[in-house]
Amino acid sequence: MNLFTPEEMVRNYSLAGAKKTQAPAWKLLILGILAGALIGYAALVTNMACYKLENPSMIRVLSGVLFGFGLGMVILSGAELFTGNTLITISVLDRRASVPGMLRNWGLVFLGNFLGALLLSFLAARFNFFGAGGGALAEYTMNLAQAKMTMRFENALVMGILCNILVVLAVLFSLAGKDGASRIMGAWAPVALFTICGFNHCIADMTYCMSGLFCTRYYAGHAGAFSALGWGRYFAGNLLPVTIGNIIGGCAVGVTMWLCFLWKGKKEEKA
């Protein structure tokens, strides 16, 4: 078979997750910046491809098809993505990693992801990427950012949970493959689904939201209808609830996979 079994897949992540907690801080930060930028590129591509479309279903489908390749780039490059790393709970439960080591990884990678998305969003706005269509792309970007920032807290939280269930499954599915094509397809399909559904991913939303915030500065002539855009609104209305939801969703899958495939194996070994 060209695929690992589910038990092998989860065990592979347990080993990989343990290594992630032992990596040097500088390496985690740099690879985190890379992942934030790669996911950001996918976000910019979806905005560019869809800003002239009017059919909501077509926008969702096209966004899903394109954005789905973002995680594949992260995985094949060895970059570090915070949302995927919530699966390190598997390594902790498997006694291959510690809770402090997991939290250290999360903190450094989250910071790196944020810096990567921040830099990409700033450069795209500062050097007129969003000027396409006479500023229509900037308006589309600000509208999308405002929608993400003004969701009710509980809605953003639940949309974050549902999103990261699919994201971490995508990470696991990528580890089930034994060749590049299988790994990319395993990562692509669940991510395409969450994008089409409109669920919230805190790292992708960093680029979506910060691009909108920078557009209010560099495309001020198009920003009149977007009074809700602001850094405080972004942190409280999107980043906080979506990040919490992503952690819950990712950890829930990690615990479930450990219980189903690794915990049972350990009991049999003792028997």
Q: Write the DSSP string, 4-58.
A: --HHHHHHHHHHHHHHHHHS-HHHHHHHHHHHHHHHHHHHHHHHHHHTT---HHH
**b/e string for 79-96 if b means 16 or more Cβ within 10 A?**
bbbbbbbbbbbbbbbbeb
Q: What is the pLDDT of residue 270?
A: 47
3-state secondary structure 134-171: HHHHHHHHHHHHHHHHCCCHHHHHHHHHHHHHHHHHHH
**Beta pairing partners, 177:** 3
Which residues of the chain are under the pLDDT cut of 70? Answer: 1, 264-271
Q: What is the pLDDT of residue 268?
A: 52
Identify the three-state secondary structure at position 3. Answer: strand
End-to-end CA distance of the chain: 30
Q: Which of 33, 120, 45 is nearest to 78 (CA)?
A: 33
Q: Which of 83, 70, 96, 71 is nearest to 11 (CA)?
A: 96
Q: Which of 241, 211, 263, 237 is nearest to 46 (CA)?
A: 211
**b/e string for 6-44 if b means 16 or more Cβ within 10 A?**
eeebbbebbebbbebbebeeeebbbbbbbbbbbbbbbbb
Q: What is the pLDDT of residue 178?
A: 87
The first and second tokens of residue 228, run together, are 């809700």
The angle that helices 99-126 and 25-50 make with each other, rounded to 10 degrees, is 40
Model pLDDT for residues 171-199, shown as the tens digit of each residue: 999 999 888 888 899 999 999 999 999 99
Q: What is the pLDDT of residue 180?
A: 83
Q: What is the pLDDT of residue 13?
A: 96
Q: What is the pLDDT of residue 271?
A: 44
Q: What is the pLDDT of residue 177?
A: 87
Q: What is the pLDDT of residue 88?
A: 98
CB 197: neighbour CB atoms within 10 A?
13
Model pLDDT for residues 146-167, shown as the tens digit of each residue: 999 999 999 999 999 999 999 9
Mark out the alpha helices in 88-152 (DSSP H runs).
Answer: 88-93, 99-126, 136-149
